[in-house]
Amino acid sequence: MSVCTLRINNRDVAVQAGTTLLQAARQAEAHIPTLCFLEGLSAVAACRLCLVEVSGVDGQSEPRLLAACVTKASEGMRVHTDTPRLLEIRRTVIELLFTEGNHVCAICVANGHCELQNLAVEVGMDHSRLPYRFPERGMDLSHAQFGLDHNRCILCTRCVRVCDEVEGAHVWDVGWRGEHCQIISGLNDPWGAVEACTHCGKCVDVCPTGALFHKADTSEEKQGHPERLQALVHARTHQEWTP
């Protein structure tokens, strides 16, 4: 087994070759916030919250910003996870996520159980320094059990990946571009009309906000089931479970 040694926040860490910086940081008990990442699903580096400063790569002495969830550790790397520059970037990313959508926490089904809300508290965002855009976004309530509120979606694509990689249904995808980009079901069909949907609810379980929810939930009632989902993802990864 090949091993490489790197330094994370002035602490030497030895990890197996192929380990990502996020995994190495967790091994070193160095906190790196994430939104789009979920253990067991493919990493896409969509949210950019896991950016870290890295030097010692290919002879570079100046720190570079790299996404920890997709960057593999290599020998001699020097990684910093909590510099003032990174803290400012993370706060700005959270502000952008809030201002480009319509997140009204007080009436959200995920209020108090929302990963975006928790990270806003973590980065110290008590107000936005950026203007709110108030985009016109709709809802899809065509499914018998679940609903989709595009106003609360942050395009983390967890739902897309869990439906494809765990459930094997591939109901979800990403459509359009730029400010019009949004999660779509089928070929931009109403969710309830997509025959591929197995009604399993995994997409609802992994959604970090209140964008995907059970119709029976009201304000503050949505609570995910991470233990059940992690068990399914682990079983799928180790080929112990078939959808």
Could you tell me the pLDDT band of residue 166, with boundaries at 50, 70 and 90?
very high
pLDDT over threshold 80, residue 225:
no
CATH numeric code, 89-219 = 3.30.70.20
pLDDT over threshold 90, residue 164:
yes
Per-residue pLDDT of 75-120, as tens digits, reads: 999 999 999 999 999 999 999 999 999 999 999 999 999 999 999 9
Start-end of CATH 3.10.20.740 domains in the chain: 3-82
On whether the CB atoms of residues 240 and 46 are closer than 8 A, the answer is: no
DSSP state of 91: H
Q: Which residues contact 149 (CB under 8 A, 6 or more apart)?
A: 139, 210, 211, 213
On whether the CB atoms of residues 14 and 8 are closer than 8 A, the answer is: no
Using CB atoms within 10 Å of the CB of residue 204, give its burial: 0 to 12 exposed, 13 to 18 middle, 19+ buried.
buried
pLDDT over threshold 60, residue 226:
no
- Classified as helix, coil or strand, 8 is strand
3-82 has which fold? Ubiquitin-like (UB roll) (3.10.20)
Per-residue pLDDT of 23-32, as tens digits, reads: 999 999 999 9
What does the pLDDT read at residue 73? 94
The secondary structure element, H or E, covering residue 213 is strand 212-214
